[in-house]
Amino acid sequence: MSIGKRLIDLARSELNSLLDRASHHEEVHFGERDPDHDLYERYGMSTISDEELEAELERRRAAREAAAKATRARAEAPRPRPSAKPQSPPPQRASHADEIRRAYASLEVPPGSDFETVRKAYRTLMRKYHPDRHAQTPEKQKAATELAQKLTQAYKLLEKQLRK
């Protein structure tokens, strides 16, 4: 089963469970109380008077304004000239663990599989998507070439990782 199919099945099951919970929630709580009551209880607002609520809103408004003032002051402050120090290297694209996880996913094997499983999956997928098998049309051959290159990169990465 392909990864795309697995993801679609997982999304469907999650959506169905959410719809079930929503319909159950509506059956149980329909018309019983204020729809915002749960929020009031969750954030402890059921015990706050209107005056206390207004005071809290004013305090938060003042805090936001103070933060905005500080941001403007920092933006308007003169900036020091850049020094001759070497700049830090650019951030790496992805961590090594992410690359390994993607390699397992592209070869459609579970993470942590042994080298023989990886090798068998690579050979099976290469037999299926090899560019020579899709030489009828240039578009298919180009797509198969790109996929074969990705599969080969994933296989080489896992081979290096698993043969240490």
Q: What is the per-residue pLDDT across 129-149, written as a single tens digit (0 to 9) for each?
A: 888 888 888 888 899 999 999
Check whether residue 155 and residue 106 sit in a common domain.
yes
pTM of this structure: 0.43
Could you list the residue range(s) of the whole structural domain that residue 150 is in? Answer: 96-162
- pLDDT(124) > 80: yes
Give the CA radius of gyration of the chain.
28
Check whether residue 156 and residue 101 sit in a common domain.
yes
If pLDDT is split at 50, 70 and 90, which confidence band does 39 have?
A: low
In-domain check, residue 80: no
Residues in the chain: 164
**In whole numbers, what is the pLDDT of the chain averaged over residues?**
80
* pLDDT reported for residue 53: 73
Mean pLDDT of 89-106: 80
CA distance 18 to 16: 5
**CA atoms within 13 Å, Cβ hemisphere of 103:** 24
If pLDDT is split at 50, 70 and 90, which confidence band does 24 have?
A: low
Question: How many domains is the chain partitioned into structurally?
Answer: 2
CA distance 22 to 52: 33
In-domain check, residue 68: yes
In-domain check, residue 87: no
Check whether residue 69 and residue 102 sit in a common domain.
no
Check whether residue 103 and residue 155 sit in a common domain.
yes
> For the segment 43-97, what is each residue's pLDDT rounded down to a tens digit?
665 666 778 778 888 888 898 899 888 888 888 877 766 665 666 666 656 688 8
Check whether residue 149 and residue 113 sit in a common domain.
yes
- pLDDT(8) > 70: yes
* pLDDT reported for residue 42: 63
Check whether residue 70 and residue 104 sit in a common domain.
no
In-domain check, residue 6: no
